Structure 1
């Protein structure tokens, strides 16, 4: 391969001179009316090159004014701007929406972290580019510059290089412009949104095959098979000690390796092809720090390429800053294995931030070059690796490191995942269920998996301890069955998540966003850190504390904005504008759909893979809303040339009259099935006086199309997508909305309490009849109080 050809980038890194102002040793560039670059250089030489963090500075700048006065440069518009000391580069203040802000770090809503390795709970987060004060700063002073040939280098001059975001509380706009500045989030391959199997364990070839077959027998769908580090030789002393002319130090550590362990995988090519035949994508673990050593299959060819005599058996050190090393690294190692079936690489770098170029973090280099290399041949790139620094959103997916199996670790992940949106990092993948330490806890496993199913990537993972597998059948009866249902649900959610994936790529909106993105001026939105938007239609509030032993219920305090919300697991509906303390058994947690929500779900919940579905169940909540589902081939860059299709759904509600519309598909029909079955599930409607289905003006006989599933009105629609050029309308008249039977809910709740039956009768019966809350311990009373909030 040619390094320059493979890794050079065509970037718009220079701001037009008309949008810059120089005064003394300072240059201010106006990128938008709310985004300013402030540079300070002792010799007055400034950087126009792209850097590790910033790729694009050629924005369409608005009209602005500037003033040079008393050693200060003031630049901006009437409502926004910056004031900079011309001889020091100190930002005296920023202005956001007319408000002067001196401390650019106060009120920062934080960003994300490098790794959770070695932690057991909450850790400090780096800063994001949004702040409650209205102003935030991105410091790019220490970034290396990107050269035209794809290499990186230190800056020619030591300088201060800051980006001042003065977006007030328009957080989404700040993130969108950050992504314009630093590089957007790519469109992720569709397979990434199914269930991943991963485990640090020395499987044999047959053991891994047997495991995948067991998943299939249990009807548990997977999309990604992960092979951890034991794919290569690990016990080097056992295998290679005593080889003449070798350095004993070269077989001291087995973390790095590039040759398949033929004791475990006697025919790895056949193994990879078998996984492919099961409709699985394959990722393989890498620890590149120890370079290429004498025992590797490709050593002789690699050594010759690097100008080393193979007869010396000399180790070729890892050097991510050497273009020739990286050419051989990809061409002689990774490309061969990709041709044989490996789809992408899990870069498990944990060896620090130093390299042969001062300031070049090997993690950043590996992420950058691996992602770009994986994009070759017209396919979409993807890697799995830790967060290196701002700009890492260009290299999805994120690996958050080895999570400890503790409630504290789970408790931190919903908050930290949502908060990462504040630095544009939208695709975290966690060790769902925890990686190591801790103790067996079925409840913790289920709660973690509930979060995983409603998180960016659902990757089950654990360490090599034989008794710590995350397979559902290795847990108790209840946990096992719940886990299977959750994994099947994740498979069904792919059409919804993939649409959100497109929105992230196109508009910069994350799948998981903090509540304050939609309600930045409501104080309550800042006090529900562990709940988040899951796409445009749902609010999720994962349960991250164990249940009460007596009630069997766990609590989470949920903030509901104004409106009506329906829990997709319990069907309970709530009026918003308040906090509601919700209680749930192990079987579910609050997943709340807004009024008018529309969710496309795959009807297939057991197959491996993530193809565009032949059948869709559309969950529709009464209210007014629309949803446009996005589809393409899931893997290539064809969407850039129009190879994608969109299907719009709409629901309109006026009293007890509901109209649901499926609009004709727009776009490229070649990427979707020619025919599709739709099951429209009016989730909160239990009956109706009449239902009419029309294709354009043609009225359908609905006798065989209407049925009820779990108490909800459902209508079946069969469409020839390629021929349909008129909308399908379902008109429901006299719709009756589900209403919770609070008396039955009260009885069911108390019946499950693990306490004396005589106590139940004496304390709860009278309260049941009077409608008042019982006089009893808070732990027993509060779950009943939740019922008062139900509609």
Structure 2
């Protein structure tokens, strides 16, 4: 009996192992398996991007991603099976699936574990969503105890490292919900779900828990570091087009200009003061009273000749943003048409008491209607950019039944977080369809994964005017950028400034200090834009030329323009190489853990380390300089060894800025607007101490001819040992390109910083597009 029982057990185990071996099927992209009553699919989209897709057994609902646009590549994959484990490998990563528990494990080719789910970590809970039988879904993972992660969109929690957090990922004013994080281990995770989601990280697990889903769907991407993961996220969800050159200048706004004459006069005053300006913004109520909210037409009393307004702005060599909202008041023709076609989402949006409703941004036909009104009423006038406000959208008088409201893609609850993506996508694609002569530029208050492909620059919302909020903007911006979204900005001075009105508004010394420090920070962000309520922010509100605060603001606006060649080249790296403009120290210095959780400093491009002053009355500030480089004080040219913390005096005129040794920085001309002067006589600032490389990018500044190859690149190389600057053959050409130009080499040292009265030009030379080497 004993022998027979043993034989039966052996037979059972053999059959059990055989069952595991037969419980998956190879597919062209990976495998399909039935595990724990779930259909599980592992699909390689590239050698470094893998989709993990799970749904309850028998659920045949299809999933079309709103964010992911990449199609799977044809790859050679190696599939191996050992007992209850199956491993699928590309040349860059291996994925192992436990056929008993459903756990998915990711490893590098050398066997180093990168990321893993928990055993039995996928949970489906049956729910009823607005009459639809579906699920609440949770996916749990395990991270290393000391692992640092970034991302999750824009969170105003003041933290760079998002470990130990429990966050509600739901679009709100001042919060951007992107269910994505990346790790210092060099991978990223995108949880592809659009319903409100709880991200939680604690000692037991790291998880995404979404209110509505018919599947668990996420993408693992391996990039090797911060920049590499961002590049993979762009590969997956879309590349970012070039913004127009003028958008990198200075932009003035206010809540709000009340007539077309007031708006044009602001531009005229900047021109008369000879303070640079490129953009002016028309905020809400240009359509009249709230019962005509967002009519996409101009009130004839205060805006009697809108075409003349637009033309006047253009004649002053400036550009005009016009605000547009996703909600409409009942009096408007848009509301009436959307309502007649069941294309409104029936809940209250801004403003209060106006019975305003948002249109169904998820419906392609509704997006067509929206653009038709926008085009006829405003775009036809020749405006230059859109301010798409309330793209969360605002949701007031909230009722639980609001989330049951139907949309083209299901309940509002099921797609809520994708609202900004669908809305901005509609405007971008429609404008691109009618015009290639003007680059789309969308200023938007919220974002979702993939929105970078729609030329969206997201601002941080209606934040308060106070020092703690200013401090939080740095990690908020960096995590936003690390989520794959390169364009971010904020209201200089914060939006709500009512606390400073009593003390004199713009003449209040406390507000002047806060505003000036905020402006210094904004100089080194993807868009420099002054805006807010309670206190007008135009430079002349703070005083006159010769007044300290006026002069400091003018200094930093001018600095922004001098940096245009550098910033525009950095923007090209965003478009052409999936780069980023604002980067944490980790992205540039992945081997220096001392910078991994630094939330007060960041890199602007690859050369500038910026450490904004974010506390009132700071006379000096401590700055950490990463160990992999020597550093130059931007203002004085003084050199510091990396790997140390230095103390820098910070009078109101100074924000600590350090330039990495080996940097090559083109220095633009002094101008009143971005395209006033050609770059035919550029200083090329060399920061010695290491070899350097820089590509100067130029195109036609505001059209899409660059997509046809009409642009030029000039590569500069600095050999530190031989003190030689080599300018390579120019690549490419475009209409209006400079055939000949002059470059002036400025080698920076402690006698040749920016604050030096007279910059020493070490050598000047002419360049006609052919390689030249200049030895110093």
Pair in the same fold by TM > 0.5: yes
Among 704, 718, 721, the residue aligned to 1:651: 718
Which residues in structure 2 correspond to 1:90-169 (within 5 Å)?
90-91=103-104, 93-96=105-108, 98-100=111-113, 101-102=115-116, 103-104=141-142, 107=147, 109-113=149-153, 128-132=180-184, 135-142=187-194, 158-167=214-223, 169=224
Which residues in structure 2 correspond to 1:329-408 (within 5 Å)?
329-349=370-390, 350-352=393-395, 356-357=406-407, 358=411, 359-361=414-416, 362-376=419-433, 377-378=435-436, 379-395=438-454, 396-408=456-468
* SS at structure 1 position matched to 2:735: helix
* SS at structure 1 position matched to 2:715: strand
1:544 is the counterpart of 2:614 = yes
Between the aligned partners of 2:575 and 2:86, the Cα distance in structure 1 is: 36
Query: 273-282 or 369-378, which moves further after superposition?
Result: 369-378
Between the aligned partners of 2:91 and 2:607, the Cα distance in structure 1 is: 37
* SS at structure 2 position matched to 1:26: strand
Aligned residues of 1:122 and 1:409 also touching (Cα < 8 A): no
Between the aligned partners of 1:289 and 1:178, the Cα distance in structure 2 is: 31
Among 597, 612, 635, the residue aligned to 1:569: 635
Among 273, 290, 293, the residue aligned to 2:311: 273
Which residues in structure 2 correspond to 1:217-616 (within 5 Å)?
217-233=272-288, 235-236=289-290, 251=291, 255-290=293-328, 293-294=330-331, 318-349=359-390, 350-352=393-395, 356-357=406-407, 358=411, 359-361=414-416, 362-376=419-433, 377-378=435-436, 379-395=438-454, 396-437=456-497, 438-439=499-500, 440-463=510-533, 465=534, 467-471=535-539, 473-475=541-543, 477-548=547-618, 553-607=619-673, 609=675, 612-616=678-682
Aligned residues of 2:186 and 2:229 also touching (Cα < 8 A): no
User: Residues 326 and 33 from structure 1, CA distance in 2 versus in 1: closer, same or farther, beyond 3 angstroms?
Assistant: closer
Aligned residues of 1:405 and 1:436 also touching (Cα < 8 A): yes
User: Residues 307 and 448 from structure 1, CA distance in 2 versus in 1: closer, same or farther, beyond 3 angstroms?
Assistant: closer
User: Residues 211 and 99 from structure 1, CA distance in 2 versus in 1: closer, same or farther, beyond 3 angstroms?
Assistant: same
The alpha carbon displacement at 1:276 in A equals 1.2
* SS at structure 1 position matched to 2:321: strand
TM-score (structure 1 length as normaliser): 0.74
Among 660, 682, 706, the residue aligned to 2:725: 660
* SS at structure 2 position matched to 1:360: helix
Aligned residues of 1:569 and 1:589 also touching (Cα < 8 A): no
The alpha carbon displacement at 1:38 in A equals 1.1
The alpha carbon displacement at 1:594 in A equals 1.7
Between the aligned partners of 2:543 and 2:622, the Cα distance in structure 1 is: 24
Aligned residues of 2:257 and 2:263 also touching (Cα < 8 A): no
- Name the structure where strand makes up a greater proportion of residues: 2
The alpha carbon displacement at 1:453 in A equals 0.6
Between the aligned partners of 2:256 and 2:472, the Cα distance in structure 1 is: 26
Among 96, 100, 103, the residue aligned to 1:83: 96
Between the aligned partners of 1:275 and 1:461, the Cα distance in structure 2 is: 18
- Structure 1, unaligned runs of 5 or more: 1-15, 145-155, 237-250, 309-313, 688-707, 733-791
Aligned residues of 1:194 and 1:609 also touching (Cα < 8 A): no
Aligned residues of 2:371 and 2:426 also touching (Cα < 8 A): no
Residue 178 of structure 1: aligned partner:
233
User: Residues 528 and 34 from structure 1, CA distance in 2 versus in 1: closer, same or farther, beyond 3 angstroms?
Assistant: same
Query: 76-85 or 433-442, which moves further after superposition?
Result: 76-85
Between the aligned partners of 1:544 and 1:174, the Cα distance in structure 2 is: 29
The alpha carbon displacement at 1:498 in A equals 0.9
Which residues in structure 2 correspond to 1:772-791 (within 5 Å)?
none
Between the aligned partners of 2:92 and 2:377, the Cα distance in structure 1 is: 56
Aligned residues of 2:192 and 2:217 also touching (Cα < 8 A): yes
1:682 is the counterpart of 2:765 = no
Aligned residues of 1:647 and 1:664 also touching (Cα < 8 A): yes
The alpha carbon displacement at 1:631 in A equals 0.8
Residue 7 of structure 1: aligned partner:
none
User: Residues 108 and 69 from structure 1, CA distance in 2 versus in 1: closer, same or farther, beyond 3 angstroms?
Assistant: farther
The alpha carbon displacement at 1:345 in A equals 1.4
* SS at structure 1 position matched to 2:652: coil
Among 681, 693, 710, the residue aligned to 2:757: 710
User: Residues 316 and 513 from structure 1, CA distance in 2 versus in 1: closer, same or farther, beyond 3 angstroms?
Assistant: closer
1:648-667 residue CA offsets vs partner (Å, 9 max, x unmatched)? 2232233xx63233344321
The alpha carbon displacement at 1:565 in A equals 1.0
TM-score (structure 2 length as normaliser): 0.76
- Structure 2, unaligned runs of 5 or more: 1-25, 117-140, 158-169, 197-211, 345-354, 396-401, 501-509
